[in-house]
Structure 1
Amino acid sequence: MSIRTITIPVTDLGKARAVYRTLLGIEPYVDQPYYVGFRPEGAPELGLDPHGNVAAGPITYWHTDDIESAVAALVVAGATPERSPHDVGGALTATVRDADGNLIGLFQPSS
C-alpha cells in the first residue's frame, strides 16, 4: 500500500477550490459537486470533499488492490472499523481508526 490521496473536508467547495488551485498552481483534473481533485506533479492527489467531517480534518488514503483484506488485517492488528468499504464513483473507500483514534483511509481504485 502507498499514500496516494489526501482528502480535505470542506464546507464551501467553491472557496476551497479557489484556495487550492492557487496554492497548487494547477487546475483540478476532476471538478464535480461531490469532489474536486488535484494531481500535483510528484505529490499525492489532493481531494476536496464537501461531504466530509470538517472537525475530523484531512484523511490520508492508502491505496490497496484489496480493500476488504486490508481492512481485515488492520482490525486484527488493533484498528477499529469506522466506515466499511463503499462505492465512490466506481472506486471503493473505507476508514478505520488506530488505537489513538486517528483516522486511516483506504482506497481501492476501480478495475
Structure 2
Amino acid sequence: MLRGFATISYYADDLDAARDWYTTLVGIEPYYVVPGYIEFRVGDDEHELGIIDGRYRPPMPDGPAGAVMQWAVDDVDRSLATLLERGARGRTLAATAR
C-alpha cells in the first residue's frame, strides 16, 4: 500500500499498540527496536518510519500542530479506505495521484 517517503518519526502514547498498528499497516516487523523507540524500513527505498514513546514528546504549542506527510501509494481509494478502517483520522484526508 505505502510506497515511500523520506524520514519521519511520530510520537505514540502506547508504543506497544503503535508497534502492532504499524506492523499490520506496513506488513513488516520493525527492523530496529530499543526501549522508547521502534523503526521500520518502508517501501521500495526502505525509508525510515520511527515511532517514539510519547513520554519523550517535546512541549507542543496550543492549537493545531503535527507532521505533514505525502505518501506514494498504488491505489489512492483503497489506501484511504484501509487507513479509515484502521482508525486513522484527521482534519483533512487528501490524496494526490502522481
TM (norm. structure 1) is: 0.44
Q: Which has the higher contact order (CA 8 A, sep 6+)?
A: 2
